[in-house]
Amino acid sequence: MLSVQDLHAWYGPSHVLQGVALDVRRGEIVALIGRNGAGKTTTLKSIMGMLARRSGRIAFDGHDLSTLPVHARFRLGLGYVPEDRRIVPGLSVRDNLRLGLLMAKTRARERDTIDRIVSVFPRLGERLEQEGTSLSGGEQQMLAIARAMVSEPTMLLIDEPTEGIMPILVEELAALFVRLKAAGTTILLVEQNVELALSIADRGYIMDHGVVEHHAPAAALLADTTIQERYCWV
């Protein structure tokens, strides 16, 4: 479904991605993990076409994305949830969700769309008229994910969804990702909570210094203490 080959990216003179290669198959959750500064967020931004200086081949669902602008990638069925959430101040939860309709492939009825989203995110349904930025951190993260889901993407790129969130909502988000997968949404997940990410993922890629250093089934990565000590979370 998604294939990334020989991906390079730069911030000014800094060569931050150096030949990244990964693939995500339809119906999977794939975790992209590694230390801070490893290049995970830059990889997601590059896939979405948000970096000016990049090279390599990115294909999604049979389409070569290499020269496509950001909005065209959304139209093909990619959804993106950034680390900073980007909840718009002054807008209600409902109005933040409406922004997702701008990227929808078809113009579904707004009421039907909101009803569909609320059925997946009942917390948001109780707060539709509340200002989005007044929600808790976990609820804002749900709103960011829900807004991305409004356009019914076939694949979601999600960046650090559990950062700064209460443990009970972390568990709720993990369960949400599993439900989204069961409903047919493919997910590429960047997450600092490595054990959580690998517990729900099918496969994992470990990045370090702009390079994919290791790739294996998630269960194998969870069981490999050498890999854990070298790269991530022990």
pLDDT of residue 151: 87
* Cβ-based burial of 67 (10 A; exposed 0-12, middle 13-18, buried ≥19): exposed
pLDDT of residue 169: 86
Q: Do the beta carbons of residue 205 and residue 215 sit within 8 Å?
A: yes
Comparing 125 with 52, which gets the higher pLDDT?
125
Could you count the other beta carbons within 10 Å of the beta carbon of residue 84?
9
Q: Do the beta carbons of residue 101 and residue 150 sit within 8 Å?
A: yes
Q: Tens digits of per-residue pLDDT, 141-157?
A: 999 999 999 988 999 99
Residue with tokens 């707004």: 110
pLDDT of residue 145: 94
Residue with tokens 């807004």: 147
Comparing 36 with 186, which gets the higher pLDDT?
186
Q: Tens digits of per-residue pLDDT, 93-126?
A: 999 998 887 766 555 577 788 888 989 899 899 9
The helix/strand/coil state of 166 is coil
**Is beta strand 211-217 parallel, antiparallel or unpaired with respect to 78-81?**
unpaired
Q: Across the chain, how many H-helices and E-strands are there?
A: 10, 10
Q: How far apart are CA 150 and CA 80, in angstroms?
A: 12
Q: Do the beta carbons of residue 101 and residue 128 sit within 8 Å?
A: no
Element (H, E) at 194: helix 194-200
pLDDT of residue 108: 59
pLDDT of residue 234: 47
Average pLDDT, the chain: 91
Residue with tokens 């113009």: 107
Q: Please name the amino acid found at residue 122.
A: P
186-190 sheet: strands from edge to edge = 78-81, 155-159, 186-190, 29-33, 203-208, 211-217
- Domains of the chain (ranges; CATH) run 2-77+154-231 (3.40.50.300), 88-151 (no CATH)
pLDDT of residue 186: 98
Q: How far apart are CA 77 and CA 74, in angstroms?
A: 5
The helix/strand/coil state of 127 is coil
Is 0.85 surpassed by the pTM of this model? yes
- Write out the two tokens for 62: 């049979």
